Amino acid sequence: MIENTDLVWELAEFRRRERAQEFVLSIENKLCIYSSSAQQLYTNYNIFFPKEDDTQLVILPNPYAHQDTYHGIRPRGLRATGLAIVPMEPDACRGALAMRVPVKADSQAERTVPLSVCLKLIQRKLPSSAPFLPVLTKGDLRELDDAIPCLHLNILSMSSLAGQLNDLEIQDIKRLIQSRMKTIAQRA
């Protein structure tokens, strides 16, 4: 049994659970996972679906890669974005990816944009001192009204890491997340 409950995600409410499972497997080790209770960022992990309970998803950090887990990251360093990654084609969870973005800050309306296009726009708008560093937390795997799985994104603030991690660790996290986002965007 896993001790960190932040790494056990519930899928019981999903209408199309298999679809959500396939979708989340498509991002395995591509997006980092954050645990607020452990204050850790996992960059090397596997996603497991226990046979005895098919309503759960368990994230298992690689026990042989301690260097791929960053400790002492306080929850205040994360912020919800309102952005979500979704499959480009509703029935193709392993295919191209898109991002759902709010049309206006005060509106419920959203629009779906190819992931690579959206990432380029975000990177252009943000200063280099505050790069787009998305991570996932428990509860970020969701299902839209029409049973399409999506991954809500949180961003990790580099400025909040100062004093918690050394400069080398902060730069490693930045480089790793940006590299993985570039890989995801190329696939999208």
Query: Which residue ranges make up each domain of the chain?
Result: 5-187
Rounded Cα gap, residues 174 and 188, in angstroms: 21
pLDDT at 147: 87
pLDDT at 103: 80
pLDDT at 92: 52
Residue 137 backbone dihedrals phi, psi, to 5 degrees = -130, 170
* pLDDT tens, per residue, the chain with 188 residues: 467 899 999 999 999 999 999 999 988 999 999 999 999 999 999 999 998 888 999 999 999 998 999 999 999 999 999 899 998 876 555 568 899 988 876 667 888 889 989 988 888 888 877 899 999 999 999 998 778 999 999 999 988 888 889 999 999 999 999 999 988 887 66
pTM strictly above 0.85 = yes
User: How many other C-beta atoms lie within 10 A of the C-beta of residue 71?
Assistant: 12
Which of 91, 82, 94 is closest to 147 using CA atoms?
Answer: 91
pLDDT at 12: 93
pLDDT at 174: 94
Rounded Cα gap, residues 101 and 114, in angstroms: 11
Q: For residue 119, give the H/E element and its range.
A: helix 115-125
